[in-house]
Amino acid sequence: MCFLLENWLLPLAVAIVFIQFGNCSVQDSKQSPTPHTFRFQNPQQCQRNEFYNLNYFDCSSCNEASDGGINELQPSADRFSCQCPVGHMSIFEKTKRWPSCEEICTNTTKQSENCTTSWSVKFPSWQCHYQYLNATAVAQQGAGIVLTQTHPGSNSSDCQSCDASYNFRYQDYCVANSLMRPYLHYNAFWQATSSPKPNSNSRLHFGDLKFVAFFCLALRNDTACQQLANLCVLSHYSLDKHSPCSAFLLTQMSDVVMKYAHPGDQSRALEPFLFYKKGRSTRELLTTTLQPANRTELQIFSTNYDLTGRLKRWGRFELQQLNLCPGQVASKLHLTRRQQQINCQLTLEQLIDAASAEGNDNYLSLYLNFSSNWQYLLHQLPVLIETLTPENKRPQAEEWQLVKRFQLISAHPKDNRQHQTAPRYEDAHKLQLYRSLRYVEHMQLEYSIQPGHLIGLPLLRLRYRHIELTANATLTQLYPFQLVVKCDRVLPGVAAELLLEIALPLLLLLASIAALLRLQNLRRRRRAELCQTSNLLELLLQLAANVALALLVTALLLLALQAFNPRQLAALIYPACLMQLVYLAVHLRRASQLELFLIDWERPRSSCEAQRLNLDSSSLCSSVRTYVAESSVSAWRVLFTANAWIRLSAAQRYSSLLQAFVVFAAHQLLQHYTQSPLDAGVSCCLIASVSLATYLLQLLLGRLFQANLLQKFIDLCSLANISLFSLVEPGYGYYVHGRSPHGFADTDMSSMILQLQREAQNMCGRRGLLMDSDKQAYIILPPRNLRVYLERLLLPLQRSRNGSMSQTLLYQKDLQVPSIDSQVERTSIAYASVNRFFCAFIDHAIKDMDYIIKEKTLVEKLFNCEIENYLTDNKGTFYIDDSLSFSRVLLLGNHVDIFVLEILVLLSIYLLTSSLLFAVALACGLNMLLRHIFRLWMRRNVSRKTLIDERFLL
């Protein structure tokens, strides 16, 4: 055993690895990035005059080439934007991303060559409260917006006041009314939560929305644009004309969106990217396949922004960031996982606590890390909010409105100054914090694995639930939450279609033809009509076995080609397992109930009247009367042969325990070297491949190094001088000729050794049924009257067993034997009568019942049928059986069906539980149970059919 494991386990595991990954092609180095793909660059790689563009994850120069090198823009402190240096004022123009810097001329410092400003004022000596924004016209630059810390209308350069009559105050800015005029329409946006009534308390107003839009659209402030995008997410992607999303819809959508346009809006593409285009581009996007950066793990990158538009965090994304269930830990996202799911019920108090912790201050965007052209790239993941539009609930992908940013939970605060607030130490205080909540009740990240270790672009599905915190709300109300990670395998086009549309129907057709041929052959053996109920049931049973094998072959082909998804594999494996289990249970039950008789060719050689031998004992000629006829046979050789037959019936050609150990060890070894959980497809392919290889290897080694158990049983029959006659059907059975060429078997050890030596030197007759042959195994088609004669011989015994008491007493009276031993006497007489009958039949001593011996033709051997037979009422046919076909009524001859059931059970249990240890344990347990039950069935049948008391059987 150790030798086999050491020499075959490691090469076998390596071979399975090559089988699994042999179909994986090298990724095409010419894969082009999609329009939503970015090459990630580390911010530390940016040079001194470069800023880091968060929208593209790369470094860009602050000074554009068109400036001629005269601009003096510098990266900001966080290096996420560019700004003018101290002593300069910024002039923003519509045609430029960044402002132009103009040095401010002062009276106290020497003017430089670039000092061209028309404001000849001096800097105030104290800290300014406001930064001033006003329209200006510069000779060289044209109309624009100027940003400075000096008040343009003050001769004393006052920067401490902002006249509300002519300006708007926002944070530390003083904005001229004329600049804000194109953006005042944002004041008309009210976010409706549930009630459409204008005066309803469920409507929320984004008071600073016009300022955020101004800084984003007019000054192109990236932080303000991020904030505007977050307000769009907070408004649940409102499609109203004056919503925070209107500018993004106008510049990022491919459909006609002029209804969102306003005279003050810009036609340039607005960043950050928030919407995907609808239509054909959406369908093409979702069919995009990428090469993951790590083949064993799905690596996702995420960015988190706060409400003000500032970056909070970026880096590796963990599934736990999306989990709202307390106490449940979400594991990492792996390509090798089948499906992960988290379900829980959240109380309203838990949702309020989560909303308070988030504070509307966490907005996420996800990116897939993939490789192309030997570079690591990021692809932004699309988000499908099912509750956003009615089209998002439809199956047509081209109608979906996909977005790029989301939040888990949002809360709309209540103005507590107008309401009496409960003390904070009371739980009711939490119900008065917010007007309503919106949280993700169902979240599903789905992706597909394509052939060649490509993956389809993951899609994040979200479904929100809106909760109004009314007066009837309680903190104990329960709300569902579900997090699902779903992975599907996609068939590789032509190969999968050939398997499922051509190969599988062809295999099913062959299975049906084989079942019909089996039915026709069985009808001849049973000597029955074709349309009998028993024949039709036999057809269904055989068809189930053939279909199960066809489904298994199809599943193995799909596994070998890695052209499946778990649903398709389960649809093939589960029905096949059920059908094979039903077939094998019925078939083995019928095989164990065959008609069986052991023919003893020898009479006892010792008696009380004869001369005593050296083995004589006090019990040999006991005075105790036994009711045994003079023609009775010897019991011991029959008992030994019957027990040998029972032991042979439960023997197997392979070890199920060894096979399970090799499968589990190979799986653990491969998992150890890959250092990550194996994919369901890889695991199923490994289980099937290692099981099949181990099974074939055991059969080969067993044939080479182990003795043939069937031939050993035939040799035992010859030594015991006992033949085995069995009938599986009324007109079909098997015969093992065990008649000793020496004529007797009750002998001492020295005589037995001399007999074997004479046989080896061809100094005696042959063992075979024919005088010049050693053929001892036969397939028999007995005469049709044989069964009738046999039933007549057993009729008295059957009457005594099943008949009434009066019939039994009458039969006992006719025998004239004491009633206490009548059952033993009738059994002995019946056994002796049947034995004499079979001995005479085999010796051609019955005039009206005979047989011929012949060989099967090639066609008969190939299709396991009997075509050219000479079968009549008084004449039968014995076919020479070199393949020892009588093993078909034993487990030895059904090893293929048993192996098919075991591999189906292994795959089925693994697909259900994802636990290989549990699967192999259940498969081994099923095999042990099958052997035990079949041995028990065979033992009882041998006792009943051979008339041997069950107490003598092992």
Q: Rounded mean pLDDT of 843-847?
A: 89
What span, in angstroms and rounded, lies between the C-alpha atoms of 296 and 453?
9
The residue-averaged pLDDT of 266-277 equals 77
Q: Check pLDDT > 80 for residue 765.
A: no
For residue 428, pLDDT beyond 60: yes
Closest CA to 443 of 381, 398, 490: 381
Please indicate whether residue 128 or residue 513 has the higher confidence score (pLDDT): 513
- Average pLDDT of the segment spanning 274-295: 83
Which whole number is the average pLDDT over 435-460? 87
Position 14 scores a pLDDT of 35
The whole-number pLDDT of residue 9 equals: 33
pLDDT band at 99 (very low <50, low <70, confident <90, very high): confident
Q: Which of 717, 747, 709 is nearest to 640 (CA)?
A: 717
Indicate if the pLDDT at residue 19 is higher than 60: no
Q: Which residues lie below 8 Å from residue 767, measured CB to CB, with a gap of 6+? A: 718, 737, 739, 740, 741, 759, 774, 776
Half-sphere exposure of 318 (CA within 13 A, CB side): 7
Confidence band of 116 (pLDDT split at 50, 70, 90): low
Looking up tokens 């089925």 gives 908
Residue 32's CB is within 10 A of a number of other CB atoms, namely 8
pLDDT class of 64 with cuts at 50, 70, 90 = low
The answer to which of 165-169, 257-261, 568-572, 889-893 has the lowest mean pLDDT is 257-261
pLDDT tops 50 at residue 15? no
Q: What are phi and psi of 650, to 5 degrees?
A: -95, 0
Q: What percent of the chain has pLDDT over 70?
A: 76
Question: Which residues, at least 6 apart from 784, have a Cβ–Cβ distance to it below 8 Å?
Answer: 527, 731, 871, 872, 873, 874
Instruction: For residue range 256-265, list pLDDT tens digits in order.
Output: 444 444 544 5
Which tens digit of pLDDT belongs to each residue from 526-565?
A: 766 666 777 888 889 999 999 999 999 988 888 887 666 6
Residue 266 has pLDDT above 70, yes or no: no
How far CA 651 is from CA of 585, 646, 691, 703, 931, in Å, comes to 17, 9, 20, 15, 8
> Is the pLDDT score of 940 beyond 50?
yes
What is the pLDDT at residue 332?
A: 66
Most confident segment among 7-16, 63-72, 457-466, 738-747: 457-466
Strand 375-380 relative to strand 37-39, pairing: antiparallel
Average pLDDT over residues 459-487: 90
CA 768/CA 313 separation, integer angstroms: 88
Structure token digits, residue 531: 């349309």
Element (DSSP H or E) covering residue 177: helix 177-180
Confidence band (pLDDT; 50, 70, 90) for 415?
A: low
Report which of residues 205 and 15 the model is more confident about.
Answer: 205
Question: At CA 391, angle to CA 390 and CA 395, rounded to 5?
Answer: 120
Q: Which of 65-79, 98-112, 377-391 has the lowest mean pLDDT?
A: 98-112
Span of 116-120, 170-174, 180-184, 673-677 with lowest mean pLDDT: 116-120
Which range, 119-128, 205-214, 726-735, has the best average confidence (pLDDT)?
A: 726-735
Identify the band that residue 818 occupies on the pLDDT scale cut at 50, 70 and 90.
very low
Q: Alpha-carbon distance 265 to 210, whole Å? A: 12
Q: What rounded mean pLDDT belongs to the chain? A: 79
The pLDDT value recorded for residue 588 is 94
Per-residue model confidence (pLDDT) at position 894: 94
Look up the pTM and report it.
0.58
* Separation between Cα atoms, residue 15 and residue 696, nearest integer Å: 15
Give the pLDDT band of residue 711 (cuts 50, 70, 90).
very high
Average pLDDT over residues 687-693: 93
DSSP output for 75-126: E-TTSSSEEPPTTEEEEE-TT-SSPEEEEPP-SSS---TT---S------SS
Does position 618 have pLDDT exceeding 50, yes or no?
no
487-506 pLDDT, tens digit per residue, is: 876 655 555 667 777 888 89
Q: Which of 3-17, 363-377, 681-695, 823-837 has the lowest mean pLDDT?
A: 3-17
For residues 2-15, one letter each, b for 16 or more C-beta atoms within 10 angstroms of the residue's C-beta and e for the rest, the string is eeeeeebbeebbee
Residue 304 in this model has a pLDDT that exceeds 80: yes
What is the C-alpha separation between 371 and 28, in angstroms, rounded?
11
Contacts of 791 (CB under 8 A, 6+ apart): none
User: Where is pLDDT greater, at 537 or 115?
Assistant: 537
> What are 848-900's pLDDT values in tens digits?
899 999 999 888 888 888 887 777 888 999 999 999 999 999 999 999 999 99
pLDDT digits 0-9 by tens, 903-923 = 999 999 999 988 899 999 999
Phi-psi region of 778 (alpha: psi -120 to 50; beta: other; left: phi over 0): beta
Average the pLDDT over each of 120-124, 207-211, 237-241 and give the range with the smallest value.
Answer: 120-124
User: Which residue intervals of 323-460 are DSSP H helices?
Assistant: 348-358, 428-431
CA dihedral for 482, 487, 493, 494, sign (positive or negative): negative
Residue that the structure tokens 């006249």 belong to: 163
- In angstroms, the CA 648 to CA 724 distance is 13
Strand, coil or helix: what is 440? Answer: strand
- Is the pLDDT at 435 greater than 60? The verdict is yes
- pLDDT of 203 above 80: no
| Whether residue 622 has pLDDT greater than 90 | no
Residue 621 has a pLDDT of: 35
Taking residues 90-119, report their average pLDDT: 66
> Using CA atoms, how far apart are residues 513 and 619, in angstroms rounded to an integer?
62
Give me the pLDDT at residue 694, please.
95
